[in-house]
Amino acid sequence: MSSPARTNPPLVIPSVHGIGVVCGLAAGVWLGAAEAPTKLVNSGLSPYAISLCMVAGVFTARWTVPTLLKGTRQVFADLAEHRHLIPIAILAGMLWAVANTLTVFAIRDVGLAIAFPLWNTNSLVGILWGRLLFGELKGASRVNIAKVILGALAIVIAAVMLGFSTIQASGAHADRAIGGILAAIGASLLWGTMYIPYRKAYISGLNPLSFVTVFTLGELGTMVALVLALDGGAKAAVFHSGETRHLLFWLFLGGFVWVIGDLFQQFATKYLGIGRGIPLSNTNQMWGLAWGALVFGELAHADAAHRLLVVIGSLVMICGALAVTTAVATEKERASMREAVVRECARYDLDYDRIVRSSTGQSPAAGSERRAGRDYVILACGIGIFVWLGTNAQVPQLAMNLGWIIVLAAVLVASAVAAAMLLWKSTRFS
């Protein structure tokens, strides 16, 4: 391996801004749709049970999708080279699990259309950590700094507007609005901090598809612990009640959809950084609002003032996120981010040249292209789980607009196909 301590070659990193932007937008579409199944909290399941079932679906997807795209040989070879990142990935999964549980409480107490923009203030936390730990915005132009600061302020203002509109709303959950808002803000803090392991992994050259397979160990372990500690222990209804079996398919499906969105978000974080990638993926607020309002009719009985605050707050938040992500990094800023790569290479004796090529999608993950027998076993098990759950599924007794479900599902498919094709042609998912 070459020693980064001895040499810091003046390599010019090609622009991958477009790849990151497309991935971030696709992430927003899928992450927004993933929360729709959590509306089942109104069907009697506890928030802990909802989150555990979703995480089980996440666990299934986080192994089957990387296996399908890259194969376990490449995933395991990548992890073997970056053993020091395994505990960090598990910690990130633990943070995700707790944050996801808080979002279910928030949805129960204030609704999907309101909870989304509140926890999407995680972009502010991400911008802070990106600047302090990874040199993002260091050396940036005044225009870019202004875009990021004004965009961040717009996100905060929008969150305040939406929170105020919730408290003033005369809805069925008005008495629990404060608790729901606090849960959403807690999720924001945890998810914003979770992006530190993301960025650390990718400036070290770890493939996002490899990262998520370890990430899910922390997710599932934490959720099992939360259910055992806070939701009835081994006697929890989620483990024994046959009445919940028909709901499991939808919650697993929600977890699967979340993984697709999260994978695109991972690639956006890799190619844009925390400060730009996360706000762009936070356009999921718009899609969460669409599912909540158009499919589930969350704003059907809201008064005009309430609706106006929600719409204006949502637009302000989206504009703030777009302002942040249109701040394309200059060469000076990219140089400061390369310094963070040099530090990681020196700390863990990594090959600087290879890491830089990996950061621009020029170097596929190490390992054989040949499929291992276990790959087919993993894929078969993943498909089998969903088929088995699907045979027991029933359509939830919730008021839903079928026409809008079809329209939004079509947008899901189109966005995934577009982003996946771009990633494959440009980087081979590296």
Reference 157, options 320, 285, 281, 40; nearest CA is: 320
Q: How far apart are CA 309 and CA 288, in angstroms?
A: 16
Amino acid, res. 45: L
Confidence (pLDDT) at 365: 46
Give per-residue pLDDT as tens, 231-251.
Answer: 877 777 667 666 667 777 888
**The pLDDT value given to residue 27:** 93
Q: Poorest-confidence range of 40-49, 191-200, 267-276, 277-286?
A: 40-49
* DSSP H helices in 231-244: 237-240
Per-position DSSP letters for 146-204, written without gaps between them? HHHHHHHHHHHHHHHHHHHHHHH--STTGGGHHHHHHHHHHHHHHHHHHHHHHHHHHHT
Residue 169 pLDDT > 50:
no
CB 22 within 8 A of CB 422: yes
CA distance 111 to 420: 31
Q: What is the pLDDT of residue 2?
A: 44
Q: Rounded to two decimals, what is the model's pTM? A: 0.81
- Residues 332-352 pLDDT 10s: 887 877 787 888 888 878 788
Averaged pLDDT, 416-429: 89
